[in-house]
């Protein structure tokens, strides 16, 4: 229980003097490292100030700032510091005396802008850590699927550095060789890491349904990819891509079943898009198929005959038509219901 506080009555004649006193205390205290003095000035009020404390601080207003700081520290450590524990009258982010940064000279007072806290930097740190974890996961995955990955990543920068420095040593410019060879060696290591990791990722998803859609969604540019516009029960899929070449239908799965799906979707798309070219691609390792690792380059090499502003209109028209819906129930299965025999096959 805090001790009782003595209330001092302040008259209109003494108010300007008290305000000037508080302003002088504030200017002197802000130059000191004493947190207790700043806390006292921010927490004290005009109507509930201990007279003894006011007298002590009036006596401390001298040219010696050390005595005033010691007085504030004594008040902070004294038993009767009920006023020091009170929150500031004008917010918890700063002092509220006249002339402080949070004090408005005209109109009503405004809150002091809160400082930048260390906790506000956590999202950036967490994003950086997530990126590092992704690189670590990619590195381990590449080592698992590619035994030559680590030797190539180590040998590539060494060969580049040796070639650049060795070419400039006969000219007596080995310092220039180091200055040019180190950045080029790092660049070569990064490029080798990216190329081998991309191959490893493609090898890890090659036999899974939806691998072609994953590759198509990684293309840069104005490409609108809609995966799974048509499917069969054997997990044969057809994906639709809209871009500058027109409408591209990409099928993956069994070559015979995928060919039938591609024909059906091509007829539907041609009825909607009109004169826009419609291309069909079958992904696989056969003679008439495109390998998964060359799918992006094959799509990028198609002739571009559609203007960029028409891509959005084509996407809206094709989405309105829709596609074959997967054989899934429209809601929760009723209790005790049996699955039809046609759905079991």
Residues 200 and 98 in one domain: no
pLDDT 10s digits, 327-340: 555 455 555 666 56
Residues 195 and 225 in one domain: no
Domain C-terminal end among 183, 205, 227: 205
Give me the pLDDT at residue 162, please: 92
| pLDDT band with cut points at 50, 70 and 90 for residue 35 | very low
Least confident of 55-59, 197-201, 204-208, 318-322: 55-59
Give me the pLDDT at residue 159, please: 94
Q: Considering the domain boundaries, does residue 150 fall inside one?
A: yes
Residues 185 and 217 in one domain: no
Domain C-terminal end among 181, 205, 229: 205
- Structure-token pair, residue 122: 């956590």
Residues 226 and 171 in one domain: no
Give me the pLDDT at residue 254, please: 87
Residue among 271, 264, 235, 234 at smallest CA distance from 249: 264
Domain C-terminal end among 53, 74, 104: 104
Model pTM above 0.75: no
| pLDDT band with cut points at 50, 70 and 90 for residue 116 | low
Give me the pLDDT at residue 41, please: 43
Give me the pLDDT at residue 105, please: 47
Give me the pLDDT at residue 289, please: 87
Residues 314 and 216 in one domain: yes
pLDDT 10s digits, 212-234: 888 888 888 888 998 888 888 88
Residues 252 and 294 in one domain: yes
Give the whole-angstrom CA distance, residue 258 versus residue 270. Answer: 18
* Mean pLDDT for the stretch of residues 20-49: 52
- Pick the more confident residue, 222 or 182: 182
- For 28, the domain range is 1-104
In this model, does residue 103 exceed pLDDT 80?
no
Q: Considering the domain boundaries, does residue 115 fall inside one?
A: no
Give me the pLDDT at residue 210, please: 85
Q: Considering the domain boundaries, does residue 39 fall inside one?
A: yes
Q: Considering the domain boundaries, does residue 117 fall inside one?
A: no
Give me the pLDDT at residue 94, please: 46
Contact between 194 and 222 (Cβ < 8 Å): no
Residues 215 and 200 in one domain: no
Residues 197 and 237 in one domain: no
Residue among 139, 133, 136, 145 at smallest CA distance from 200: 145
In this model, does residue 96 exceed pLDDT 60?
no
Q: Considering the domain boundaries, does residue 332 fall inside one?
A: no
* Mean pLDDT for the stretch of residues 200-221: 85
Q: Considering the domain boundaries, does residue 336 fall inside one?
A: no
* Mean pLDDT for the stretch of residues 39-46: 43
Residues 200 and 215 in one domain: no
* Mean pLDDT for the stretch of residues 23-41: 53
Measured CA to CA in angstroms, residue 307 lies from 171, 273, 279, 316 at distances of: 54, 14, 16, 16
Give me the pLDDT at residue 83, please: 41
pLDDT 10s digits, 123-140: 555 788 888 888 888 888
| pLDDT band with cut points at 50, 70 and 90 for residue 249 | very high
Q: How many structural domains are present in the chain?
A: 3
Residues 75 and 134 in one domain: no
Q: Considering the domain boundaries, does residue 147 fall inside one?
A: yes
Residues 136 and 200 in one domain: yes
Fill in the DSSP letter of residue 5: -
Q: Considering the domain boundaries, does residue 327 fall inside one?
A: no
Residues 65 and 10 in one domain: yes
214 CB-contact burial (10 Å; exposed 0-12 / middle 13-18 / buried 19+): middle
């Amino acid at each position: 229980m805090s001790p009782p506080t003595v209330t001092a009555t302040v008259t209109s004649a003494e108010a300007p003097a008290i305000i000037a006193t508080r302003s002088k205390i504030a200017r002197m205290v802000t130059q000191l490292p004493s947190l207790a003095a700043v806390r006292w000035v921010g927490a004290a009020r005009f109507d509930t100030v201990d007279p003894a404390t006011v007298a002590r601080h009036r006596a401390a207003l001298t040219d010696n700032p050390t005595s005033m700081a010691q007085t504030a520290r004594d008040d902070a450590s004294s038993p009767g510091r009920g006023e020091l524990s009170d929150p500031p009258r004008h917010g918890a982010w700063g002092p509220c005396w006249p002339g402080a940064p949070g004090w408005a000279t005209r109109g009503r007072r405004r809150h002091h802008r809160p400082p930048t806290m260390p906790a506000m930097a956590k999202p950036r740190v967490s994003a950086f850590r997530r990126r590092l974890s992704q690189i670590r996961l990619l590195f381990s995955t590449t080592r698992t699927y590619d035994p030559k990955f680590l030797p190539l990543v180590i040998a590539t920068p060494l060969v580049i550095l040796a070639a650049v420095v060795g070419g400039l040593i006969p000219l007596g410019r080995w310092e220039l060789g180091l200055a040019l060879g180190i950045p080029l060696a790092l660049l070569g290591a990064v490029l080798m890491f990216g190329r081998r990791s991309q191959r490893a990722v493609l090898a890890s998803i090659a036999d899974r349904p939806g691998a072609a859609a994953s590759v198509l969604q990684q293309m840069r540019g104005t490409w609108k990819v809609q995966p799974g516009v048509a499917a069969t029960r054997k997990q044969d899929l057809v994906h639709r891509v809209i871009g500058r070449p027109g409408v591209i239908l990409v099928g993956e799965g069994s070559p015979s079943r995928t060919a039938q799906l591609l024909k059906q979707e091509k007829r539907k798309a041609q009825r909607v898009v009109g004169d826009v070219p419609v291309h069909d691609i079958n992904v696989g390792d056969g003679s008439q198929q495109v390998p998964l690792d060359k799918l992006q380059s094959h799509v990028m090499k198609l002739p571009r005959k559609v203007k960029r502003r028409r891509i959005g209109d084509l996407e809206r028209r094709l989405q309105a038509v829709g596609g074959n819906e997967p054989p899934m129930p429209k809601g929760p299965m009723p209790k005790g219901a049996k699955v039809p025999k046609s759905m079991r096959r």
